[in-house]
Amino acid sequence: MISRINTALFCVSVVALLGRSVHADPAPDPLYRLANPSTGDHLFTTSFDEVISAIENFGYQYEFVAAKCFTTSQAGTVPFFRLRHLADHFYTTSEQEAEIAVAANGFTREGTACYVYPSQVAGSCPIYRISFSVHHFYTQSFAEVLADFRTIAGVTFEGVAAYAPPAGTGCPQ
């Protein structure tokens, strides 16, 4: 009995010294990026089943893992709302912006794509948002943003939509 109490006290002491819980935070999940060449839309999802469905039923093509994010709310994260209007998916962390997109621009809510950081934290990278014509586009690669400015007429840089862990090591260039 004394041995169990000593072991329990030792474990509590170690946890207190480390300053963290014995439960590890969950690892972020892949945020898959798909493109529909017929419509120009880009779809982002953490669901591999949705990836398969979008490819088989809606003409999307898989591109790559765009970033990582959380499928459940974690400390410091906020919902990354997903909305759709015709051939455009729109993502935002702002409830107010989502409401305006619905009321003024005809978007329909599709739920929460995942959970992301509203500001930069250690190990996160910006997710940039640009728009052109009737489409919104998201990427962690600023080089991709610059390439779109060079090749697509009427591109507007809308800023940073959110922050999330990168798909690989370090923020993409």
Find, among 130, 142, 151, the residue nearest to 173 by Cα.
Answer: 142
pLDDT for residue 24: 59
Residue ranges per structural domain of the chain: 24-164
Q: Considering all CA atoms of the chain, what is the largest pairwise distance in Å, rounded to the nearest integer?
A: 75
Residue type, 20: R
Q: Are 127 and 161 in contact (CB under 8 A)?
A: yes
The parts of the chain modelled with pLDDT lower than 70 are 1-25
pLDDT for residue 119: 97
Q: Give bridge partners of residue 109 from the DSSP assignment.
A: 83
Q: How far is CA 108 from CA 37, 90, 133, 138, in A?
A: 22, 10, 19, 19
Q: Which H or E run contains 144?
A: helix 142-151
Q: Are 164 and 129 in contact (CB under 8 A)?
A: no
Report how far apart the first and last C-alpha atoms of the chain are (Å, whole number). Answer: 58
